[in-house]
Copies of this chain bind each other. A is one copy, B any other.
Amino acid sequence: MVKVGIFGAASLISGKLLELLVDHPNVEISYLTSESFSGKTLEASFRGRFRGLLDFKFESYSANKNKMIDKCDVVFLSKPHGGPYQVASEILASGIKVIDLSADFRLKDSQVFAKWYKLHGNDASDYFDKEYFDLLDKAVYGLPELYGKEIANADIVANPGCYATCAILGLAPLVKEKLILEDSIIIDSYSGVSGAGKSQPENNQFIDLNENIKPYKIGTHQHTPEMEQELSRLYGGDLKVLFSPHVMPIDVGITSTIYVKYAKKLSYKELSDLYNDFYNNHPFVRIFDDNSLPQVKDVANTNFCDIGFSVNDRTERLIISSVIDNTIKGAAGQAIQNMNLMFGFDEVAGLPYGQALKKRISLNAMKV
């Protein structure tokens, strides 16, 4: 059994990590830290949800760093970006694997990171030192459908952003095959309220969000450069996207409606074949090739990314509908998928429908 710790374990996403890890066949939850809740039971952050399941108190990492290091084989970091990457560094230095759910190591260009995340002074020369660049060098972008092999060999993985996961998976096959016009990508996304976590209650009151839609950071959201980095790499050249997020009054889920102009006319069949081929061996991406569109409720509480299409020849556009559960495939589930790859477990272990998917993967393998 691999021993797992969580740094920042009182967060909303840590709740999802705990929910999944507690039933994971290959791991044992061993250490949970939270500076603000240290000394308190899990109830302080999670009410009665984990009663009878988990008997932990939140520990202070800073008060006793060695304890976490002694108790864990892998640590999930669940803190906002721009936090003390020293934690990652310290943990890693002790030979413990790290899966970082923040944005700290997602962007390979630190200047881009500084600018979009508005770090100190926007160039953040004070922030980035040799230690940071060492970590950045080692960190693998944790999107298993694109970087499975690299992740398997990584000591530190940068878990992707939720919006970025949904958009990149939705666009990857088209972009890789250069089937779109470069300046035409628009990603219009609606996220459930869980996307905001629990740390800013004044911005996330029921009375303000219920029966409402909140558009925000249109064209300026910090997941934009993450999408551009990965799509440009696939494309083999610079791509820009216009990304437009909104908050909608549901708990979990991201619905992305993605617009591109096509470089050449594609039939619905060609489009779905392209996607089916691209995601052939990836159990968590499901392609809708029967003229239906995926709905976000059908991926809630799962690690799936469901993708469907519309072809609009009147305006020479393709419209991709990509949906995920932002807390699972967009965060905790993907982090566990990464952990599975890093430790050689089944990719699907401990994830919703893990047993069923494992059976199907074996059956498919036998067919070949």
Contact = CB atoms under 8 A, between A and B. Distances in A.
Contact of A288 (B25, B48, B193): B48
Interface size class of A (residues with CB under 8 A): 35 or more
Contact of A207 (B12, B317, B319, B321): B12
Given A47-B298, A48-B298, A306-B48, A188 B257 contact: yes
A115 B12 CA distance: 37
Q: Which of A190, A204, A241, A257 has the most CB of B within 10 A?
A: A257
Nearest to A241: B315
A246 B251 contact: no
A65 B316 CA distance: 49
Interface in A220-257: 240-242, 244, 246, 248-253, 255, 257
Nearest to A217: B310
A129 interface: no
A121 interface: no
Contacts of A300: 211
Contact of A213 (B12, B183, B240, B255): B255
A194 B204 CA distance: 14
Nearest to A309: B218
A292 B218 CA distance: 11
A297 B211 contact: yes
Interface string A57-94: 00000000000000000000000000000000000000
Interface stretch (A132-140, A145-153, A339-347, A348-356): A348-356
A257 B186 CA distance: 11
Contacts of A310: 218-219
Interface string A175-194: 00000000100101010011
A250 B212 contact: yes
A40 interface: no
Contact of A296 (B196, B212, B252): B212
Interface in A247-273: 248-253, 255, 257, 259
Contact of A219 (B213, B288, B304, B315): B315
A-B pairs, top 8 by smallest CB distance, nearest first, are A212-B297, A219-B312, A201-B201, A218-B310, A213-B255, A49-B298, A242-B315, A23-B355
